[in-house]
A and B are shown apart, each in its own frame.
Chain A
Amino acid sequence: MIKVQELSKLFGTKRAVDEISFSVERGEVLGFLGPNGAGKSTTMRMITGFIPPSSGTVTVGGFDVVEQAIAARRLIGYLPENAPAYTDMTVYGFLNFTAEIRGLRGDAKKKAVHRVVGTCFLEPVLHQSIETLSKGYRHRTCFAQSIIHDPDVLILDEPTDGLDPNQKHEIRQLIRRMGEKKAIIFSTHILEEVDAACTRAIIIDRGKIVANGTPHQLRSKSEWAGAVTLRVTGISAAAINERMAQLSAVKRTAILREDATSVTARVFPKPNVNGVLAGSIADAAQGWRIEELHTEEGRLDEVFRSITMPDTATEEKK
């Protein structure tokens, strides 16, 4: 559905987006991650046709967003960053207006407005002026606008920004559900959302794609992935270190915490021995009183940091 090819954007001499390429098919939810100023919003603005690319092309549903802008935009629902909306209108008036612009009339319009009011829980503020809405409600109103025509493609720039935990949960569920039939790109700074809603994630940094894969693939890039955390009582840290060093699959052991009664250690595997480590540790630890033993999945925030801030991440490890 969405095809981005060697897309670049220069602001003056600054490269906000630098030759990025990717595609999103129907049924995919693509999470867009990256530090502030990475170029996420700029990329989304080019996909929706708000700003023209400096070079490269974007097609949506086969339509070039520059050459066949109108046809492409019909397929797109867009929630811009900061959820702008006409503050002088009521929620109801605003949704009606966007429905009209999208070509909905009469009964179809009424139904569409009714549907999104339900989906986005806007009932209590329906006739309130947008100016007086709380941030979360304004965000939901703008989100409602983006799905009013039930588009095939959804571009959402930080859709859960400013929502309360319940609403965040609802919106993630909604994105996930809609993602089964649509192609969705959404950007976020909340890494749990990648697990909660995405089928795939892209990390961009300084305008370039630095990682692209399923949440599981990204997580396995973590150096924690496959490490085993172990907590035992009645054994000294030195003894654990010694015993673990004898195992062939172990790269190194880090003592995380040591107090009067127990020691917590994390054992890192050598490359390519994922999965079996926990078993061999359990064998080696016979006779110890094990309170906890589990394999780490690898953490997205750690992957994110090590990819986008390689220097500080290594420093912290030391």
Chain B
Amino acid sequence: MNSWSHIKAITKRELGAYFSSPLAYVFIVIFLLLCGFFTFMVGGFFEPGRIPQASLVHPFFDWHPWFYLFLVPAVGMRLWAEERRVGTIELLLTMPITPWEAIVGKFLASWLFLALALVLTFPVVLTVNYLGSPDNGVILTAYVGSWLMAGAYLALSCITSAMTRNQVVSFIISVVLCLFFILAGFPPVIRLLEGWAAPWLISIVTSFSVITHFDGFQRGVLDSRDVIFFLSVIVFSLFTTSVILRTHRAG
């Protein structure tokens, strides 16, 4: 498993890079604050009638697609843009590793970082368990779904990061890209489409939506189609990243 050891070395380095800059801590703090604020204040966690059921699902996980819209591109923007700006890409890609190993290694590092951020939201879970008796199975599948969704966003950010050496440009483009994947399943947008589009078109559009696919997880259903959707967005995006990196080098 030579490949694996290359990926591991790169992942380790990238994770180190996150934690040697303030970005990681800022990110985690913002994420946790947002989660707390939206869950308990905006999400109506304490609304009368909610607490007995003590469900996390809506007040907490409903916001994730929107948090990720800004937070994940912020995590992913530096992945390749920084390598290109500093020139280390020339070192990395002339090492005896395949571009795939580099791409996967970097992606994994950021994905693990997002996993850590998610894990650190555990006080929310403790709170609901203290206040009532929620279905922890549902919470777990929702977490898995949320992580997969973050992975899909992250892979999209990899593409935009590989396209430019400017992190800000990368950030903006990936927000727009991710926004498309959210809006495709956002009820107001669907209602708008229903006015004129044929039903088959709507179903194609909504099939690209992260919200639609995330919904199953939130209900505690681990549908293989949803899992496959997120995984294929990831694989496809990483593949696109490799194509972009190759074309860039070709000049």
- Residue numbers of A with Cβ under 8 A of B are 9-11, 45, 48-52, 69-71, 73-74, 76, 78, 80, 82, 84-89, 93, 97-98, 100-103, 129, 142, 145
Could you tell me the distance between the alpha carbons of A201 and B232 in the complex, rounded to whole angstroms?
Answer: 52
Min Cβ gap A43→B in Å is 13
Interface residues of B in 1-48 (CB under 8 A from A): 2, 5-6, 9-10, 12-13, 16-17, 20-21
Q: Check if A86 sits within 8 Å of B13, measured CB to CB.
A: yes
List 25 A-B pairs, Cβ < 8 Å. A10-B251, A48-B94, A49-B93, A49-B94, A50-B94, A51-B250, A52-B250, A69-B98, A70-B97, A73-B96, A74-B96, A78-B91, A80-B90, A82-B87, A84-B87, A86-B88, A87-B86, A89-B16, A89-B17, A93-B16, A97-B9, A97-B13, A101-B97, A102-B96, A145-B91
Could you tell me the distance between the alpha carbons of A309 and B9 in the complex, rounded to whole angstroms?
Answer: 48
Q: Check if A89 sits within 8 Å of B250, measured CB to CB.
A: no
Contacts of A145 in B (CB 8 A): 91
Q: Check if A51 sits within 8 Å of B96, measured CB to CB.
A: no
Interface residues of B in 66-104 (CB under 8 A from A): 86-88, 90-91, 93-98
Q: Check if A103 sits within 8 Å of B5, measured CB to CB.
A: yes
Q: Check if B86 sits within 8 Å of A73, measured CB to CB.
A: no
Q: Which of B12, B17, B86, B95 contacts A102 (CB 8 A)?
A: B95
Q: Check if A73 sits within 8 Å of B95, measured CB to CB.
A: yes
Could you tell me the distance between the alpha carbons of A70 and B94 in the complex, rounded to whole angstroms?
Answer: 9
Contacts of A71 in B (CB 8 A): 96
Closest to A51 in B: B249
Could you tell me the distance between the alpha carbons of A9 and B251 in the complex, rounded to whole angstroms?
Answer: 9
Q: Give the size of the chain B interface in residues (CB under 8 angstroms).
A: 25
Contacts of A84 in B (CB 8 A): 86-88, 90-91
Min Cβ gap A103→B in Å is 7
Min Cβ gap B10→A in Å is 7
Chain A proximity mask over B106-146: 1 for CB below 8 Å, otherwise 0 = 00000000000000000000000000000000000000000
Contacts of B17 in A (CB 8 A): 86, 88-89
Closest to B88 in A: A84
> Given contacts A52-B249, A52-B250, A103-B5, is CB(A80)–CB(B87) below 8 Å?
yes
Q: Check if A70 sits within 8 Å of B96, measured CB to CB.
A: yes
- Residue numbers of B with Cβ under 8 A of A are 2, 5-6, 9-10, 12-13, 16-17, 20-21, 86-88, 90-91, 93-98, 249-251
Contacts of A50 in B (CB 8 A): 90, 93-94, 249
Contacts of A85 in B (CB 8 A): 88, 91
Contacts of A10 in B (CB 8 A): 251
Contacts of A101 in B (CB 8 A): 6, 9-10, 95-97
Contacts of B5 in A (CB 8 A): 100, 103
Could you tell me the distance between the alpha carbons of A202 and B144 in the complex, rounded to whole angstroms?
Answer: 59
Could you tell me the distance between the alpha carbons of A97 and B20 in the complex, rounded to whole angstroms?
Answer: 15
Q: Check if B97 sits within 8 Å of A51, measured CB to CB.
A: no
Could you tell me the distance between the alpha carbons of A51 and B248 in the complex, rounded to whole angstroms?
Answer: 9
Min Cβ gap B199→A in Å is 47
Contacts of A49 in B (CB 8 A): 93-94
Contacts of A76 in B (CB 8 A): 94
**Chain A CB within 10 A, most for which of B2, B86, B91:** B91
Known: A10-B251, A85-B91, A101-B97. 11 other contacts (CB 8 A): A70-B98, A76-B94, A86-B13, A86-B17, A86-B88, A89-B17, A93-B16, A97-B12, A102-B96, A103-B96, A145-B91
